[in-house]
Each structure stands twice: as structure tokens, then as C-alpha cells.
Structure 1
Amino acid sequence: MVFFRFPFSETLWTTEQNFASQNVSFHSFDQSERIDFEGDLKEISFSDFQNLNFLSSNLSSELFDFQEENQVEYQQKLENVIHFIKENNLSKLVISRRKLVDFDGFSVDLNQTFLKLCQSYPNAFVYFFIKDDRCWIGAFSEVLGKFNKKTSEFETMSLAGTLPVEESWTSKELEEQKPVTLFIKNILKNFASEVNESETYDHISGNIKHLRTDFKAKIEKFDLENLIAELHPTPAVCGIPKDFCQKAIENFETHPRKFYAGYIQVETQETIQYFVNLRCAEFFKNAALIYVGGGITAESSPEKEWQETELKSQAILKNLEKKKN
């Protein structure tokens, strides 16, 4: 089963058991996995959702022998990544890690965790699913694409660069966002005769902020799948050039990203929306893995990048509703 809430909405949705339609699907970063939730979208009240009572202790899948990458190991890897970036003249390469939350002595109320994320991040797409021994929760703001079936208008955004809300932008973040914006603009030009681009502005997400530029263009519906295939993975979760950076990520990261940095497709009567799956965690009976990452450039500081991933992990960590066993 799956539950989700659209950005700037107070309505919770799930799917009805109607196998004629597949309106919600989760795609892994490398496109090797896909989880579909069949059925029409159905509104569910907050009280009905809370009565479902999902606890991590009731999950069947457990995590064993997990070795978490510590700060020294991660920073050493980033030193190698920065050397690789300079050697290959890359503008950016996105590297991720997994943070372990051990449920020793407590379990997590998954219902309340989902609801706390909804409250903490009103501008985010928030989801929670359990299927085939898999359980994931996420809350994030990045839209890969939104297609309006009536007007054929397609919207997307360039979202990159991360700082605590109170800090000022530096050249590092500004330079990190530029190639993302250019990448999206060049792809849209292949599908639309006119592309509208907004000014770059601050996008606030809880205790952190990003640089954001919005795009709008009219496209043909039959081009939609090809457009999404070209946009994913964006430089915000991968790097440029895309194929080269994906191979580099496989070499530098010792873990599979699974659904982290993949995307979620949600189809309604009016729209088809695609959300990038960031700020997310994979839950097990005895633990959770929080997936976080950052855009590494030639100017990156490994220590600051570690702190950035710690900051990003708080999106999930501070909203975990713990219960003593």
C-alpha cells in the first residue's frame, strides 16, 4: 500500500484495488527496479490513516551486518572524487551515503513519522509505502516534471546548491546550479519551440535552502516518456555528462542507491507528475537507512560536504516518531 501528499496540499491519497490502472510507480535510480501501485487514486482522511497503525516492529524485513561509512572514510572518498573531477574536467559529480538508525530499544511509528513530515515540509511531496517486504518514507521538493493533460504544458525545475537557511550563497553553490539549469534548458529545446525560464531564487526546505530556476514549455504527450528519460537522472542527482557520471558513481559508491535519487510517477485525471526521490529512508524491522548525498565540485571541501549530508539527514531523523519497546 502507498500513501502520499502533494506539495502545498492538506489531502492524503492512497490507491484503491483496481487493477485496470497503475497510477503510482516508483523507479529506482538506475532504472533496474520499479514498484507499481495499481488502482485509482482515493482520498483518505487523517483519522482513517492514523487508525491503520503501522509500526517498524511489524515489518518482516531485517537489516544485518551493515557497516556504516564513517566521516573519515567518506571524506577520504571525496578527496578521490575531487581529484577525479579535476582530472576529467567535470563541473559536478553527485555522491551519496547511507546513515544508519539502529532501532535498539525502540520502534518507529511509521504513521506518525509520515504525518510529522507532512507538517514539517508543506512544500514537499511526502510518501510512505509498504510492498513486498519493502518500506520507504520520503519528503522532498524537487519536481522532475509535471505535464498538464489539457494544456500540454510541461513544467520542471533546476534545483541545486545547498546551505543552511541563515548562510549566504558562495560561488561554489552558484557554479553548482548553473550546469543543472543549462542541462534542463538544452533538453527542453529538443521538445519545444519555446522554453520559458524564471529567475533563480531561494527554495526553502526546512532548515536548508537550495537555488531554484523554473521552466515551462508546451510539448506533445507522445514525447513525454522520452523527455523524462532524457531528464533522468538530472545533474542535481548525478552529474554531467550523464552517462559518464553514472559510471563514475558506480565506481565510487559501494552501495546501490535503490529508490534514492530515482523518481516517482503519479497520474491523476488532469496531470502526470514526476518527483525526484530525495530526503528518503528505507525502513526495516530493526533499523532504517537514510539516503543522503551532495554535489561535489573541484572547489568542494570534504568536511563541509560531510556536514551537508548530516544536515540533510535531519529531514528524516528529526521527524522519526519513536516508541519504546
Structure 2
Amino acid sequence: MPARLVAAEMDQAFVKELKALFAGLEKQDYNRFLRMQIPIAGMDLLQWLKNQTSEIKTYWRDREGRFEVAGVSAADSVSGALVPEYHALMNRLKTYLADADPRVRYYGGMRFNRKHASDYRWELFSSYHFTVPLFEVIRDGDKTFLACNVLVRDDQDKNKALLEILNAWSGISFQAAEHEALPAFIRRTDFPDKPRWHQNIHTALKAFSENKLEKIVLARRTCMEFEHPLNPVELLWRLKLNNHRAYYFGFQFNERTAFIGGTPEQLYRREGINIFTEAVAGTRRRGHNREEDLRLENDLLNSEKDVREHRFVVDSIGDTLNELCSRVSVEKNLSVLKLSSLQHLRKIFRGTLKDGQSDACILARLHPTPAVGGVPSAPAMEEIEKIEGFDRGWYAGPVGWISRNDAEFAVGIRSALVYENALYLYSGAGIVQGSHAENEWEEIENKIAGFMSAIEQIVPEHQPGKAHVF
């Protein structure tokens, strides 16, 4: 087989490999994932994904841009409206992964809080939803592959299963996708609006004075309304142009409903028994030039408020890893994570998990971090629900993937819900003693700058909150 296949050869090679896979199926191959993968010519994965007609679409790219996947349809999906019990959920995901090809991954996410959705716009996502795509195009380093994940259950006829996959394959397109103009912009609505935001900050500061809280993260939802429904993949493609150092994700469960984003924040990465995570908090914009950028970086590193806010995250993650791990190391000095429009304080942790510690244990202990919840965690979560006045849904929840041996989850911030003709932008600010409502409002404006840049050509200049990426 040639090193890489071009579109003209792809169909024949794919069908041949798939039929060979099914021809070799033995009884022990049922109820576990099998995978076929062939090398193909490189392509723009999001443009390929946009061109597919399937309603179910999955996208993931790691923060360093080394690994990227676009998936279509579902070989298996696991979702539930009930509040997830992490151990039960992970046991279900592991059911078919135990003997699977290690390249098979469930991609998905879950709600920020462990409560039922109170907003109808989030109902389709359930409390959690994980999918193994049926077809994938993967870029791993400088190599690109086409893959098919096969799951034949013991009550299925393998010949019928093969025909179903071939039928789905016949709808896959490798024609170049046209760039799509976004529909006309109508209006922007912030919830809370600025007067209520000031009241929310006042309420939080009062909780500090009463010794109820040390830190709380309050969010805002900005609704951008358009004349017609948005294409989530087109919007994600535009968003990805703005910043190369982020985890990009897209989970689409019907044609016009999706959760998309580009988050800088890792929750954790696990490679076997080794775990990697980081504390990220505190924000400054990037400068217009190198001199201004360094001045803003130094201001961040020497800000008592931001360093204190970051320390809450460092202490929380350190305490958690000491419970989960037999050995933990942490960077001695603060570093600055630089993105295209923002910069944040960061410390990196590494650990070796104790025997018996699983992804369920890690998720239960790490989420929510003080960077998206608060300190102490439980009272902060209660206050968030009382003060914010809207359902966060999957915003700030864990998003990522899990395979037989490894896993990686990011924190679903810098994210948006695409729902028919509206784009709901979610962003938050860490509130501690000494925070000022106006400054925190401006921080949120900076954090939605990536999305505003992605749609700015259709948002009039006079619209409030218009942000630019430097």
C-alpha cells in the first residue's frame, strides 16, 4: 500500500480493508472495538468535517497541535440524563475498551455541576455524553489517517453490520468544502447585564466578609442572535484561526446544536499511571508590542490579587494529587501561559498514581478546580447557583477523551453553545477580596475576544462589547 492514499484510491482501499476485517472476525472479537486505519493525504480536518451530512460530529485537537481528530457518526455512544456517578460512567466506557485497539477513544464531556439541566437548550447534551466516532480522519504529527471503529455486539449478524457501515461510508465526502458566510447578526444580550453583574460581585464580596468564601468564579452568558441558524463547524474553524495554543473541541449532536470552544486549561492528562496537570488562573491581555506584552506579564506576576487567586488553585490541586499519587512534583516558580490574546499564571504538576486510582477518582477529586468553582468548593458551588441565575450546562465542565490506557480532559471554558440561530458565549472571572466589578467585566470581554473575532466581520462596530485580538 502506498505511504498515503489520495481521494481517488481511498474508497477502494477502505472497502477492501473493511471487508478483510469482517472476514477475519472470530467470536472473541464480538463486544469489543476493532479498528482499521489507512494512511491518506493531508487535509484540513474541520473543512472535511463541515462537508459531511451526518448530524453527529466530533472534533478534538490537543493544545500543542500535535494530535487532531474529526469524527463522523457513532460506533458507540454513552449518555445519560441522570447525575453521573463517575465510577459507574467510567466502568461503562471501559466495557468495550478493555481489549480494544489502544487508538480507539471515547470523546465527550459532562456538565459543570452534578445536577439536572434546568435550561432546555442543554437537554440534548444530557448530564454526560461520550462517543466513539464510526469514521475518523486523524492528524498525528505530520501524518494523516482515515480510520473506522467497528463494534459488533454478540446479538448482531456480522454481515448485516458490515452492510450498515458500508452504507454509512457511501455518504462520506472528500470533496473540498466551500467557506460559508455567517448569517446576518441581529442583536447581543448579556446575562447578567452590567448593573446585575455589579450586584453579583457585591453579593460575592459580602460572602467573603462573612467568612463564607475565599474565592468564587462568577460567569456571564452572552447571547449573539443571528437571522438564520449557524453552522457549528464553520464557526469552530473560524475560532481556531485566532489562537494556535488551545485545546479545540466540538461536540455536535444534531445539525444546529453543538458545544464548541478553544480552552487553554488542562484538567489532567494520564499516560498509564502517570498524571500531568496544571494550575492556571489570573489574566492579562497580550500587548500590542513586545515591550507592552512584557510590562503586562510583569504586572500579572506581581499582582497580589492574581497571585493570591492562583495560589488557591495551586493549593487545591496539590492537596488532591497528594491524595491520589505516591509521588508528586511541581514547578518551583510561576510561569506565564501565553495565548494569542491573553496570558495567565501557570504551574505544572506531575504525579505517579497510587494503585487503584482511576479516571473516576481523578475526575471526582479534581473537578471543579478553584479556577472555575471557588474556595471552599462546596459552598462556592452553592453560591454560584444562587448568584448567577442561569444553567452553565457543559460550560467549565470536563471535556476530553479516554482510551484503553490513557486519558486527557480539558476544562470547557472559552466555550459556546450553538443553538439554532443563537450563539451563547460563556466566560467567567475569579472573584476574591479586593475584586472590582468593572475590571472583572473587562476580563470577561477579553476572554470572549476569540469568538468575537471569529464573527466580527458581521457584528457592527457600535455593538457593545466588541473585542479585538492583539
Tell me: higher relative CO, structure 1 or 2? Use CA pairs within 8 A at least 6 residues apart.
Answer: 1
Question: In structure 2, which of residues 284, 288, 313 is the aligned counterpart of residue 180 of structure 1?
Answer: 313
Counterpart contact for 1:5–1:118, Cα < 8 Å = no
Partner AA of 1:127 in structure 2: F
Question: In structure 1, which of residues 110, 119, 138 is the aligned counterpart of residue 261 of structure 2?
Answer: 138
Counterpart contact for 2:215–2:376, Cα < 8 Å = no
Name 1:34's counterpart in structure 2.
128
Q: 1:222 to 1:117 in 2, by over 3 A?
A: farther
Deviation at 1:50, TM superposition (A): 6.4
Question: In structure 1, which of residues 215, 227, 230 is the aligned counterpart of residue 362 of structure 2?
Answer: 227
Name 2:216's counterpart in structure 1.
93
Q: Which moved more, 1:4-13 or 1:314-323?
A: 314-323
Counterpart contact for 2:190–2:222, Cα < 8 Å = no
CA distance in 2, matches of 1:175, 1:49: 52
Q: 1:18 to 1:147 in 2, by over 3 A?
A: same
Q: 1:2 to 1:279 in 2, by over 3 A?
A: same
In the TM superposition, what are the counterparts of 1:246-257 in structure 2 within 5 Å? 246-257=381-392
Deviation at 1:188, TM superposition (A): 0.6
CA distance in 2, matches of 1:91, 1:265: 29
CA distance in 2, matches of 1:184, 1:315: 28
In the TM superposition, what are the counterparts of 1:109-120 in structure 2 within 5 Å? 109-120=231-242
Does 2:75 align with 1:18?
Answer: yes
Partner AA of 1:124 in structure 2: A
State the aligned residue count: 315
Which consecutive residues of structure 1, in runs of 5 or more, have no partner in the other structure?
58-65
Q: Which moved more, 1:44-53 or 1:231-240?
A: 44-53
Name 1:8's counterpart in structure 2.
64
Partner AA of 1:13 in structure 2: V
Q: 1:278 to 1:284 in 2, by over 3 A?
A: same
CA distance in 2, matches of 1:40, 1:145: 26
CA distance in 1, matches of 2:178, 2:315: 45
Does 2:271 align with 1:153?
Answer: no
Counterpart contact for 1:156–1:214, Cα < 8 Å = yes
Identity of aligned residues (%): 22
- What do residues 76-119 of structure 1 show as CA deviations (whole Å, max 9, x unaligned)? 21111111122125321010010121214x66453333223323
Deviation at 1:246, TM superposition (A): 0.6
- Cα RMSD over matched residues? 2.9
Partner AA of 2:339 in structure 1: S
Deviation at 1:191, TM superposition (A): 1.6
Counterpart contact for 1:49–1:111, Cα < 8 Å = no
CA distance in 1, matches of 2:405, 2:179: 32
CA distance in 1, matches of 2:355, 2:454: 38
TM-score, normalization by structure 1: 0.87
Name 2:427's counterpart in structure 1.
292
CA distance in 2, matches of 1:41, 1:233: 32
Q: 1:27 to 1:278 in 2, by over 3 A?
A: same
Q: 1:275 to 1:40 in 2, by over 3 A?
A: farther
Q: 1:193 to 1:12 in 2, by over 3 A?
A: closer
Q: 1:212 to 1:196 in 2, by over 3 A?
A: same
Name 1:190's counterpart in structure 2.
323
Does 2:283 align with 1:162?
Answer: yes
Partner AA of 2:219 in structure 1: S
Deviation at 1:323, TM superposition (A): 7.2
Deviation at 1:201, TM superposition (A): 0.5
- What do residues 275-313 of structure 1 show as CA deviations (whole Å, max 9, x unaligned)? 100000111222111001110011101110111111111
CA distance in 2, matches of 1:77, 1:323: 31
Counterpart contact for 2:230–2:418, Cα < 8 Å = no
Secondary structure, aligned partner of 1:193: strand
Deviation at 1:142, TM superposition (A): 0.7
Counterpart contact for 1:23–1:267, Cα < 8 Å = yes
Which consecutive residues of structure 2, in runs of 5 or more, have no partner in the other structure?
1-56, 77-95, 98-104, 116-126, 145-172, 184-188, 287-292, 460-470
Deviation at 1:200, TM superposition (A): 1.4
Secondary structure, aligned partner of 2:433: coil
Does 2:337 align with 1:207?
Answer: no
Secondary structure, aligned partner of 1:255: coil
CA distance in 2, matches of 1:196, 1:206: 29
Deviation at 1:35, TM superposition (A): 1.6
Q: 1:53 to 1:129 in 2, by over 3 A?
A: farther
Secondary structure, aligned partner of 1:180: helix
Name 2:160's counterpart in structure 1.
none
CA distance in 2, matches of 1:52, 1:154: 41
Counterpart contact for 1:107–1:323, Cα < 8 Å = no
CA distance in 2, matches of 1:50, 1:279: 29
